[in-house]
């Protein structure tokens, strides 16, 4: 294993219990182990509850306004770290941030912003650097400035070359993306997407998928994961247990997949299962999708409606299937909790609490 990979995996081990998410999006990450903050601080003092919880937060920095505005009204891109936000990261022991295209103007600015973020984290005194994450899938989901980074055609184009070229392009794309992101100070990539796109009406995955063949998706997802992690990048597969057969975008509503357990195992779970076993991804992102065959338990929404729990909030799916059945030992990351698949049915505090229920 390369030295930089060992370093980044060490960071992951020390922060095994991280959650991500606030200032617009909330992402929650859970792990098998106790808080990495406790591990890092064992020789000093026992971390406070505030410190442990702070390490479980990743801020969405897409926009920032100095003065309070109505929710959703701030549209000022954050491109440098303001003192008030630096103080917040330090004071509350924040564990990570996620960056979007609005934050990223050119390489020099990106490096400077990430240095400012890591300096704020260093002032916490925990010895734990920030997770700095991004959705850099290639194709239509790419956050780096396209004129100043390498652009790729996306996963479905890679899938279309599989019969002739195998995993060659998945490996090459993963390697290049990881090198570029790490050179900018970004250490977490929420990619690749390993959803099996078997629904031609899918409004959100479609060309983000490697294809409709579960085995092909598994082989290409594994290859891209290995390529990125060999460079030292922390990789997050998505969207567990599968977003490939939906006709609803979970950004806009809560999809439901009525596959049988057998079909879920044979189609939806197969790329996750094989990549977990063979490539050990650092993270896996959950889906705000109902899978009644895996969990038919219900919850009461903020409007009082009784609904089947989505995978993001399901202990049966995330512990029973992902942890116990598939033996995943990395970080479980929720998709953003401000997406309509969650926010239409929960307040933000409710959603965060329910991810731990």
Q: Is 245 a catalytic residue?
A: no
Q: Domain span at residue 246?
A: 3-354
Write the pLDDT tens digit of every residue in 263-276: 999 999 999 999 99
> Whole-number mean pLDDT of the chain?
89
CB 293 within 8 A of CB 347: no
Write the pLDDT tens digit of every residue in 68-115: 888 789 999 999 999 999 999 999 999 999 999 999 999 999 999 999
Which CATH number covers residue 66? Answer: 3.20.20.300
Among candidate residues 135, 195, 295, 335, the one labeled active-site is 335
Which of 21-35, 127-141, 170-184, 290-304 is the least confident region?
21-35
Which of 121-125, 246-250, 269-273, 309-313 is the least confident region?
246-250
Total structural domains within the chain: 1
Within 10 angstroms of residue 153's Cβ, the number of other Cβ atoms is 15
Alpha-helical (H) ranges within 148-281 are: 155-160, 162-165, 168-183, 214-230, 261-263, 270-279
Q: Which residues pair with 298 in a beta bridge?
A: 308
Residue whose C-alpha is closest to residue 334's, from 83, 88, 158, 96: 96
Q: Which residues pair with 307 in a beta bridge?
A: 299
- Give the pTM: 0.89
């Amino acid at each position: 294993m390369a030295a930089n990979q060992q370093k980044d995996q060490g960071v992951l081990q020390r922060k095994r219990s991280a959650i991500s998410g606030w200032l617009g999006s909330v992402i929650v990450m859970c792990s098998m182990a106790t808080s990495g903050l406790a591990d890092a601080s064992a020789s000093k003092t026992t971390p406070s509850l505030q410190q442990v919880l702070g390490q479980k937060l990743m801020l969405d920095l897409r926009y920032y306004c100095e003065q309070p505005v109505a929710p959703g009204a701030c549209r000022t891109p954050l491109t440098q770290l303001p003192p008030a936000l630096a103080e917040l990261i330090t004071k509350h022991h924040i564990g990570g941030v996620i960056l979007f295209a609005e934050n990223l103007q050119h390489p020099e600015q990106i490096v400077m912003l990430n240095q400012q973020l890591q300096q704020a984290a260093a002032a916490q005194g925990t010895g734990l650097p920030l997770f700095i994450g991004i959705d850099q899938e290639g194709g239509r989901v790419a956050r780096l400035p396209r004129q100043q980074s390498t652009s790729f055609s996306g996963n479905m184009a890679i899938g279309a070359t599989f019969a002739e070229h195998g995993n060659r392009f998945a490996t090459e794309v993963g390697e290049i993306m990881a090198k570029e992101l790490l050179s900018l100070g970004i250490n977490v990539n929420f990619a690749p997407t390993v959803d099996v796109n078997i629904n031609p009406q899918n409004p959100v995955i479609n060309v983000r998928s490697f294809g409709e063949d579960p085995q092909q998706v598994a082989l290409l997802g594994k290859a891209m994961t290995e390529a990125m992690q060999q460079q030292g990048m922390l990789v997050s597969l998505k969207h567990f247990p599968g977003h490939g057969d939906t006709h609803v975008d979970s950004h806009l509503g809560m999809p439901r997949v009525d596959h049988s357990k057998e079909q879920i195992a044979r189609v939806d779970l197969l790329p996750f299962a094989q990549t977990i076993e063979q490539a050990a991804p650092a993270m896996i992102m959950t889906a705000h999708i109902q899978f009644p065959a895996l969990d038919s338990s219900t919850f009461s929404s903020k409007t009082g409606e009784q609904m089947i729990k989505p995978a993001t909030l399901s202990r049966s799916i995330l512990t029973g299937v992902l942890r116990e059945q598939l033996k995943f030992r990395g970080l479980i990351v929720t998709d953003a909790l401000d997406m309509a698949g969650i926010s239409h049915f929960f307040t933000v505090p409710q959603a965060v609490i329910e991810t731990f229920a």
